[in-house]
């Protein structure tokens, strides 16, 4: 059973702008929650997907995986949320829930492949999943998050991807009071990384290509800003960091950042997906037991942990609210790093 004619915004081709379309959503099964979407954050992954940057987009594509909304219907076996509750949905809407990864609350590394909020095979309706640029969504309750009641709902939305994607490596690499953390790129992920690392008590430095973001970075909680194109500034932090979270979305040279890692430090790539250029020099890695790692979003329990932490420490994203109809312009601005620091779509605009 399904509901047809749900309003959404998506694209049918790599070079086509996003525009209004209708999609199907399933009726709730026993374990499902139906959510009326109030806000949806705009992640750079939405843009990569709409434009097929990674080569695996299926069209039509309806992006959006930073979803906050109100529960409108629950299945008969749902226990965690009830009608009227505020709920969040991030990048995951399903996984096998039985493999070694899922049993360890690492659904994002499900050995049979997780179901992404958009662009994954839809086990219920066939076809592919559609994301949060839409009026409503139906999700298995295991993948629905509880949203702390004290936070601004629109500003919570980006926590569901930008927040958890930076929280997970901070936790995995045991960032704590006094850890020296650096963040590369002050965008959606980068600004959350600063806030969350600061919340955990770390000393935080931002690497940015963009002079002009220094003041904002300090207000967001950074202790220092290094302009990555200035070699004197880069040399001044040589061998300093325990952990670097690199959020840059496009191919870039990571060697200058490896030089700023302390002995046994780790550079975690969360942004760019693909082959690195130019070559990676292993000498400083071997001589300093330095690691280069990657990290994908975070599991559901870890996402709830992050949301609860944000509730306790009053941490939300810095946002600019847009209408759904402004999404194509928002993508262009995102490409120019002209966003402070996350667009969030007010989904009420879809009714206009």
Ligand X SMILES: NC(=O)c1ccc[n+]([C@@H]2O[C@H](COP(=O)([O-])OP(=O)(O)OC[C@H]3O[C@@H](n4cnc5c(N)ncnc54)[C@H](OP(=O)(O)O)[C@@H]3O)[C@@H](O)[C@H]2O)c1
- Which one among 95, 252, 310, 331 touches ligand X, defined by CB under 6 A? 252
Pairwise CA distance, residues 135 & 263, whole Å = 49
Other beta carbons within 10 Å of 175:
23
Q: Which is nearer to Zn ion, 120 or 233 (CB)?
A: 120
Q: Which does 54 bind (CB under 5 to 8 A by kind): ligand X, Zn ion, none?
A: none
Q: Which residues inside 157-176 make contact with Zn ion, applying CB under 5 A?
A: 161
Q: Which does 99 bind (CB under 5 to 8 A by kind): ligand X, Zn ion, none?
A: Zn ion
- Which one among 16, 21, 58, 96 touches Zn ion, defined by CB under 5 A? 96
| Contact flag: residue 240 with ligand X (CB under 6 A) | no
Q: Which is nearer to ligand X, 9 or 74 (CB)?
A: 9
In sign, the C-alpha dihedral spanning 237, 162, 342, 311 is negative
Angle, nearest 10°, between helix axes 162-172 and 188-199?
40
Contact stretch for ligand X (CB under 6 A) within 69-77, 172-180, 205-213, 319-327: 205-213
Q: Could you tell me if 251 and 272 are in contact, meaning their C-beta atoms sit under 8 angstroms apart?
A: yes
Q: Could you tell me if 35 and 132 are in contact, meaning their C-beta atoms sit under 8 angstroms apart?
A: no
Pairwise CA distance, residues 95 & 309, whole Å = 25
| Contact flag: residue 210 with ligand X (CB under 6 A) | yes
Residue span 106-135 as binding mask against Zn ion, x where in contact by CB under 5 A, dash where not? ----x-------------------------
| Contact flag: residue 161 with ligand X (CB under 6 A) | yes
- Which one among 23, 25, 28, 45 touches Zn ion, defined by CB under 5 A? 45
* One-character DSSP codes across 307-350: HHHHHHHT----EEEEEGGGHHHHHHHHHTT--SSEEEEEGGGG
Q: Which is nearer to Zn ion, 241 or 331 (CB)?
A: 331
Pairwise CA distance, residues 218 & 198, whole Å = 11
Distances (CA, A) of 185 to 161, 194, 265, 308: 16, 10, 19, 25
Residue span 10-49 as binding mask against ligand X, x where in contact by CB under 6 A, dash where not? ---------------------------------xxx--x-
- Which DSSP category does 61 fall into? B
| Contact flag: residue 337 with ligand X (CB under 6 A) | yes
Judged by DSSP in three states, 230 sits in coil
Contact stretch for ligand X (CB under 6 A) within 2-10, 127-135, 185-193, 282-290: 185-193
Distances (CA, A) of 343 to 69, 188, 325, 340: 16, 9, 13, 8
| Contact flag: residue 73 with ligand X (CB under 6 A) | no
Q: Which is nearer to ligand X, 30 or 293 (CB)?
A: 293
Pairwise CA distance, residues 92 & 140, whole Å = 10
Q: Which is nearer to ligand X, 262 or 337 (CB)?
A: 337
| Contact flag: residue 249 with ligand X (CB under 6 A) | yes
Q: Which residues bind Zn ion (CB under 5 A)?
A: 43, 45, 95-96, 99, 102, 110, 161
């Amino acid at each position: 059973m399904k509901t047809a004619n749900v309003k959404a915004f998506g694209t049918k081709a790599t070079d086509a702008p996003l525009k209004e379309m209708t999609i199907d959503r399933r009726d709730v099964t026993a374990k499902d929650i139906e959510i009326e979407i109030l806000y949806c954050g705009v992640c750079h992954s939405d843009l990569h997907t709409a434009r097929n940057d990674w080569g695996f987009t299926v069209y039509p594509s309806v992006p959006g995986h930073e979803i906050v909304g109100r529960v409108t219907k629950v299945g008969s076996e749902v226990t965690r949320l009830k009608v009227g509750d505020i709920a969040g949905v991030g990048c995951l809407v399903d996984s096998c829930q039985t493999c070694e990864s899922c049993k360890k609350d690492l659904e994002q590394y499900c050995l049979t492949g997780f179901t992404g909020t958009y662009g994954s095979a839809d086990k219920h309706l066939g076809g592919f999943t559609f994301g949060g640029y839409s009026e409503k969504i139906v999700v298995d309750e295991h993948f629905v998050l509880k949203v702390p009641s004290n936070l601004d709902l629109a500003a919570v939305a980006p926590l569901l991807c930008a927040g958890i994607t930076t929280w997970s490596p901070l936790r995995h690499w045991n960032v704590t009071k006094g850890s020296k953390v650096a963040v590369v790129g002050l965008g959606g992920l980068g600004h959350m990384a600063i806030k969350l690392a600061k919340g955990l008590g770390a000393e935080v430095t931002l690497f940015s290509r963009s002079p002009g973001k220094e003041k904002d970075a300090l207000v967001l909680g950074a202790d220092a800003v290094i302009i990555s194109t200035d070699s004197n500034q880069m040399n001044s932090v040589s061998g300093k960091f325990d952990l670097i979270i690199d959020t840059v979305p496009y191919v870039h040279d990571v060697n200058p950042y490896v030089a700023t890692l302390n002995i046994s430090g780790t550079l975690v790539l969360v942004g760019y997906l693909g082959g690195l250029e130019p070559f990676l020099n292993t000498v400083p890695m071997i001589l300093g037991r330095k690691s280069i790692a990657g990290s994908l979003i975070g599991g559901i329990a870890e996402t709830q942990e992050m949301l609860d932490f944000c509730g306790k420490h009053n941490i939300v994203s810095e946002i600019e609210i847009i209408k759904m109809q402004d999404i194509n312009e928002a993508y262009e601005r995102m490409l120019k790093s002209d966003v402070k620091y996350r667009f969030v779509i007010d989904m009420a605009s879809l009714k206009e």
